[in-house]
Amino acid sequence: MIQTNDKLLCIRGNSFYSEGEVYTVGRIVNNKYFQLLTDNNEDHWYATLDEQGIYVSFDSSVAENSKAWFDKIA
């Protein structure tokens, strides 16, 4: 379960999220989608939590890798 202000560790980054950095969960949309803040905590992308894990998907023309992957920090 993901909650607002949880911390997520980026385990595979891309142009917007850096591997090894910790990011903060913003507003929860529903049990599958939520906001994941960027480095400055002023912008966000929508993340997905499903059977594959936690990730943010990007159009391949926008980001070098199409998905950034995360693990929840306990």
| DSSP assignment of 3-41 | -TT-EEEEEE--SSS-TT-EEEEEEE-SSSEEEEE-TTS
Structural domain contains residue 14: yes
pLDDT of amino acid 6: 96
The number of domains in the chain is 1
Structural domain contains residue 1: no
**pTM reported for the whole predicted model:** 0.86
Question: Which of 54, 9, 59 has its CA nearest to residue 33?
Answer: 54
Structural domain contains residue 2: no
- CA 30/CA 46 separation, integer angstroms: 11
Using an 8 Å Cβ cutoff, are 3 and 25 in contact? yes
Structural domain contains residue 25: yes
Mean pLDDT for the stretch of residues 9-25: 92
Share above pLDDT 70 across residues of the chain, in percent, rounded to a whole number = 92
The residue range of the domain holding 29 is 7-72
| Tens of pLDDT, residues 29-59 | 999 999 999 877 778 999 999 999 999 987 7
